[in-house]
């Protein structure tokens, strides 16, 4: 303001009042503005552009409303992990219970091995196994063995029926 006093400024404005841009200047104005803006922007390194854009994006978003999304994603991931873990550890229960009703503890060659004259304690039992088991899941190997001794006998008679 030291170089120009008010009178000089007023004279300059009067001169500029009648200045007009060349024809078509305002038609191309917006396009030219964007071009110059892009040129200015591209002078910066790429990482700064990305940072700036992400920063602007985050500022536009409502962070509070977005807070539940990471929680939901984390919960889904946790559930998936637990489910996969359970599927891996599940033993082959259906196979464990499998037994063939036709071979259910029927003595093989019983006719040759058993007769009334033979004492029970000297019979040779050659039977099909009652249960047919497959190899256990590998997870069984990892678990510590259970040493068996119940606190009460399993034998149980509910009523005086006989």
Partner 1 sequence: MSPLLGSRRAAIAFALVFCSGAGFAQDQSASQQVREVFARAAKAVVKIHGVDEHSEICGTGFFVDPTGTIYTAYTVGGEAGNFTVEFGDKKIPARQLVADIRSGTAILKVDETTPALPIGKSEELELATPVISIGYPLDLPKTPNFGMLAGFDRKCLGRYFSTIHLRVNVPTQRGEAGAPLLNMKGEVVGIVVSGLGNNSACYAVPIEAAEKIRSDFVRFGEARHGWIGVNDVSPASQQVDGSRAMVTQVADDGPASRAGLKAGDVLLQVGKKKIADPEDVFDASFYITAGDTVPITVMRGDKNLTFQVQAAMHPASKTGVLLASPGAIPGVIPMSLDEDAPPSP
Give the residues lining the site for partner 1 (CB under 8 A): 91, 93, 96, 101, 104-107, 109-114, 116, 120-125, 127, 129-131, 133-136, 140-141, 143-162
Shortest CB 88 distance to partner 1, Å: 15
Name, in order, each residue with C-beta under 8 angstroms of 64's C-beta and a sequence gap of 6 or more.
Answer: none
Shortest CB 131 distance to partner 1, Å: 5
Shortest CB 82 distance to partner 1, Å: 19
The answer to whether residues 128 and 103 touch, using CB atoms and an 8 Å cutoff, is yes
The answer to whether residues 131 and 103 touch, using CB atoms and an 8 Å cutoff, is no
Shortest CB 83 distance to partner 1, Å: 20
Residue 69: half-sphere exposure toward Cβ, Cα within 13 Å = 6
C-beta of 37 vs 90, nearer to partner 1: 90
The answer to whether residues 124 and 113 touch, using CB atoms and an 8 Å cutoff, is yes
> Got the DSSP string for 58-87?
HHHS-HHHHTHHHHHHHHHHHHHHHHHHHH
C-beta of 5 vs 93, nearer to partner 1: 93
The answer to whether residues 105 and 132 touch, using CB atoms and an 8 Å cutoff, is no
Shortest CB 71 distance to partner 1, Å: 35
C-beta of 48 vs 131, nearer to partner 1: 131
């Amino acid at each position: 303001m030291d170089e120009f006093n008010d009178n000089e400024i007023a004279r300059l404005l009067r001169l500029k009042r009648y200045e007009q841009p060349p024809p078509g200047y305002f038609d191309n104005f917006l396009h030219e503005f964007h071009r110059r803006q892009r040129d200015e922007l591209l002078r910066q390194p790429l990482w700064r552009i990305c940072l700036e854009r992400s920063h602007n994006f985050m500022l536009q978003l409502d962070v509070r409303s977005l807070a539940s999304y990471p929680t939901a994603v984390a919960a889904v991931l946790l559930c998936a992990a637990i489910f996969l873990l359970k599927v891996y550890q599940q033993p082959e229960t259906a196979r464990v219970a499998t037994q063939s009703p036709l071979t259910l503890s029927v003595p093989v060659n019983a006719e040759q091995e058993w007769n009334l004259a033979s004492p029970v304690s000297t019979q040779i039992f050659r039977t099909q196994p009652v249960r047919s088991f497959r190899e256990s899941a590998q997870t069984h190997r990892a678990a510590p063995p259970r040493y068996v001794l119940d606190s009460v006998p399993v034998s149980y008679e509910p009523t005086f029926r006989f």
